């Protein structure tokens, strides 16, 4: 039983190792590039969603919404931007550039 509990504790501690980006338990803010088809375009569009208590998330952070917000027809780059405070409040945004 002790070995099983120890194995579960280790598994719980290292589960964050498989995430595609660094995660802060108390606070996380960062920007990560997702895709680039060339140089950044002249226009920028941003679409965001918010999360409350990591239980409820609303909004449209799709590439299509970001394109519409920036009046972009041809996408050059796509970035992801997020901020999370204690898992209580978070924002997740998709940022596209293009023409």
- Give the residues across from 57 on adjacent strands: 51
Q: What is the pLDDT of residue 59?
A: 96
More confident residue, 8 or 30: 30
Q: Where are the domains of the chain?
A: 22-98
For residue 6, what pLDDT band results from cuts at 50, 70 and 90? Answer: confident
pLDDT over 70 percentage in the chain: 87
pTM exceeds 0.85: no
Instruction: Calculate the alpha carbon distances from 9 to 5, 14, 51, 91 in Å.
Output: 6, 9, 28, 30
Question: Helix (H, G, I), strand (E, B), or coil: what is residue 65?
Answer: helix
């Amino acid at each position: 039983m002790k070995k099983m509990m120890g194995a579960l504790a280790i598994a719980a501690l290292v589960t964050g190792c498989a995430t595609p980006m660094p995660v802060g338990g108390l606070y996380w803010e960062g920007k990560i590039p997702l895709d680039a088809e060339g140089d950044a375009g002249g226009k920028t569009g941003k679409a965001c969603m918010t999360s409350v208590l990591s239980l409820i998330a609303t909004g449209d952070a799709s590439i299509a919404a970001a394109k519409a917000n920036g009046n972009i027809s041809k996408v050059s780059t796509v970035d992801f931007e997020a901020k999370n405070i204690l898992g209580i409040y978070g924002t997740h945004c998709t940022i596209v550039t293009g023409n």
